[in-house]
């Protein structure tokens, strides 16, 4: 039974308070929703042929079935992070968990495309409640700097494991059950979360929680949805009126949102957080790291299958070294943070990432399985510590009563970075490919539609030439693979340069910065669920004051 909520007034040393067994078991509970969120990003891909045969969706409906989940996660993060700070992070976590489980059942038994799209949208909104809640609770539960870094590393590792496990578990389930069963995997896990959370997780919320500004929430959701939708359309179909209109509309909404936050006494998003270099700089660096990482992994999968010729399962096995090295990098970062400053570790990791991309830019690298696997493993080993340290710095530097909001900002920047990377670098690769294939003479037996597909993407070329008699399209296919490889080498060079610039920026801006909690913080209240009535509380927080547009 929970004890009454009380203000946090007793000073504690955030670096000396050690976590107990209860916190470590609670961390395992917090990783459960993270595992499912990552799995649901990939598990549906294998089920697409099965649900297509069952529901017969149109091409547009199929795109929405796949994409709406990620759209609503990205669009709802800021609102849900702030909501958790105000009503309680554990409470929001449990509400989100219950909704996630219910929406999973709805998706599993959907009998129309519209019903599945709706269920996937609800899953996205529920997922957005889980991500900032888990991260801000880690900020509360682990006040020792080393322990908190390890907990955040474990939190991030769970996402990588879920991303890798999604296709494997999905394939196993689809071998024995109908397509909807992939969603039912979520239900028992969420049941465990709902049962364990009241026992193992503390409740924390801001001491002063104002009214949630619904107009700001709508602006936040609409703006981010429009921007990401426009970027996705841009990446898939190139520059067009629809994509540009969506992006411009999203940017306009974001401008209105920012102006409104500056005028509100109790804003949905505290823009003053971004004036702190230990928050703003890590967010920028993390965005850059996710920008290159997400885009390259997409191209890596295509290269393994379309250039080297591996099966989907073979490509997954070939990418395992990158997954394992990413886990090693994430879990090894706390050890390095115990010996070196965060800025130094980040600089070294960014340089290592740049080296991995430099290796992948060598002539012939795209056609070599060993170079591809080695280069991907190296840059993955570098990127994951960067993401882990950036996340740690953001949630640590934020005031305790705004930890959820800061976590949401960090996660939103990662979502936008991934979408931008796929769009921008994808456009670069596509432009190089199309330019190289423009003068290619295709086999005369191909239709105009097949020729256009051949000159648009390597996947289109493989599909179009697959219908040509053996030997007739071999030379054209080799040219297509060479064009794709040239584009990927240019992308590798861009990624390497961007990581070097990020390393230089880290050295200059974060020189001497530590991972300790910012003294510029607010206050939380917490309910005490400990049997002895002695709850772990956030340290006392000093209110921020604004002078001439900067936070002091």
In the chain (552 residues long), the average pLDDT of successive 10-residue segments reads 39 60 89 83 72 77 78 84 83 91 91 89 89 86 85 87 76 80 87 90 74 82 84 73 87 90 80 80 89 83 82 78 89 87 88 93 86 90 90 82 79 81 81 81 71 76 71 76 88 92 86 50 46 36 36 34
What is the C-alpha separation between 322 and 326, in angstroms, rounded? 6
Helices 342-360 + 474-509 axis angle, to 10: 160
Q: What would the two tokens of residue 182 be?
A: 């992939």
C-beta atoms surrounding 467 within 10 Å: 12
Residues in a beta bridge with 204? 526
Asked if 136 contacts 88 with a C-beta cutoff of 8 angstroms, the reply is no
What is the C-alpha separation between 148 and 143, in angstroms, rounded? 6
- Output the CA–CA distances (angstroms, integers) from residue 521 to 19, 283, 541, 543, in the order listed: 22, 19, 4, 6
CA dihedral 429, 435, 439, 444 (to 10 degrees): 40
CA dihedral 359, 365, 371, 372 (to 10 degrees): 100
The number of helices, as runs of H, and strands, as runs of E, in the chain is 18, 5
The per-residue pLDDT for 501 is 92
Query: Which has the closest alpha carbon to 166: 67, 44, 320, 294?
Result: 44
Asked if 295 contacts 244 with a C-beta cutoff of 8 angstroms, the reply is no
Query: Which has the closest alpha carbon to 140: 536, 527, 521?
Result: 536
Q: What would the two tokens of residue 121 be?
A: 């949208």
- Output the CA–CA distances (angstroms, integers) from residue 319 to 49, 297, 389, 436, in the order listed: 23, 9, 24, 28
SS3 7: strand
What is the C-alpha separation between 343 and 304, in angstroms, rounded? 35
CA atoms within 13 A on the CB side of 98: 8
Question: Exposed, middle or buried: residue 285 (CB in 10 Å: 0-12, 13-18, 19+)?
Answer: buried
SS3 24: helix
Distant-in-sequence, close-in-space partners of 421: CB < 8 Å, separation ≥ 6: 290, 291, 292, 293, 294, 295
The per-residue pLDDT for 293 is 86
Question: Exposed, middle or buried: residue 470 (CB in 10 Å: 0-12, 13-18, 19+)?
Answer: exposed
The per-residue pLDDT for 469 is 66
The per-residue pLDDT for 263 is 83
The per-residue pLDDT for 520 is 42
Query: Which has the closest alpha carbon to 81: 216, 254, 264?
Result: 216
SS3 451: helix
Strands (E), 93-239: 203-206
Residues in a beta bridge with 550? 547
SS3 444: coil
What is the C-alpha separation between 323 and 380, in angstroms, rounded? 7
The per-residue pLDDT for 541 is 38
């Amino acid at each position: 039974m929970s004890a009454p909520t009380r203000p946090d007034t007793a000073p504690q040393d955030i670096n000396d308070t050690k976590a107990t067994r209860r916190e470590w078991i609670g961390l395992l509970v917090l990783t459960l929703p993270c595992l499912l969120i990552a799995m649901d990003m990939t598990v549906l891909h294998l089920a697409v042929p099965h649900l297509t045969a069952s529901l017969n969706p149109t091409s547009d409906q199929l795109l929405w079935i796949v994409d709406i989940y990620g759209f609503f996660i990205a669009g709802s993060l800021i609102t849900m992070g702030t909501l958790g700070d105000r009503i309680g992070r554990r409470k929001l976590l449990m509400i989100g968990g219950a909704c996630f489980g219910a929406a999973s059942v709805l998706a599993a038994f959907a009998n129309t495309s519209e019903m599945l799209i709706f269920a996937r949208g609800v899953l996205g909104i529920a997922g957005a409640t889980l991500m900032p809640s888990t991260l801000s609770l880690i900020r509360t539960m682990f006040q020792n700097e080393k322990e908190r870094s390890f907990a955040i590393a474990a939190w991030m590792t769970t996402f990588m494991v879920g991303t890798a496990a999604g296709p494997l578990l999905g394939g196993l389930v689809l071998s024995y059950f109908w397509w909807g069963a992939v969603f039912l995997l979520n239900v028992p896990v969420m049941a465990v979360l709902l049962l364990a959370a009241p026992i193992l997780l503390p409740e924390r919320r801001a001491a002063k929680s104002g009214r949630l500004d619904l107009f700001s929430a709508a602006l936040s959701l609409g703006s981010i949805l429009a921007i990401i939708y426009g970027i996705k359309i841009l990446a898939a179909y190139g520059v067009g009126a629809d994509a540009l209109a969506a992006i411009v509309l999203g940017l306009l909404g974001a401008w209105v949102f920012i102006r409104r936050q500056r005028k509100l006494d109790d804003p949905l998003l505290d823009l003053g957080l971004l004036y702190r270099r230990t928050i703003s700089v890590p967010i920028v660096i993390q965005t850059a790291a996710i920008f290159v990482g997400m885009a390259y992994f997409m191209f890596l999968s295509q290269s393994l299958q379309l250039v080297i010729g591996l099966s989907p399962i073979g490509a997954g096995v070939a990418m395992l070294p990158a997954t394992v090295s990413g886990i090693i990098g994430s879990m090894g970062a706390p050890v390095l943070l115990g010996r070196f400053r965060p800025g130094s570790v980040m600089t070294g990791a960014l340089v290592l990432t740049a080296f991995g991309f430099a290796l992948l830019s060598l002539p012939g690298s795209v056609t070599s399985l060993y170079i591809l696997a080695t280069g991907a493993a190296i840059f993955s080993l570098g990127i994951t510590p960067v993401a882990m340290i950036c996340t740690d710095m953001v949630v640590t530097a934020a005031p305790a009563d705004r930890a959820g909001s800061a976590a949401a900002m960090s996660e939103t920047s990662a979502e936008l970075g991934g979408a931008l990377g796929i769009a921008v670098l994808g456009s670069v690769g596509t432009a190089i490919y199309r330019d190289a294939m423009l003068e290619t003479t295709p086999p005369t037996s191909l239709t105009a539609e097949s020729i256009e597909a051949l000159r648009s993407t390597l996947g289109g070329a493989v599909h179009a030439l697959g219908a040509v008699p053996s030997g007739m399209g071999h030379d054209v296919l080799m040219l297509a693979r060479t064009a794709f490889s040239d584009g990927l080498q240019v992308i590798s060079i861009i990624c390497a340069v961007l990581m070097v610039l990020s390393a230089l920026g880290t050295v200059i801006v974060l020189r001497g910065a530590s991972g300790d909690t910012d003294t510029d913080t607010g206050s939380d209240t917490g309910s005490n669920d400990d049997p002895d009535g002695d709850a772990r509380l956030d340290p006392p927080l000093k209110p921020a004051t604004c002078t001439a547009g900067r936070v002091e």
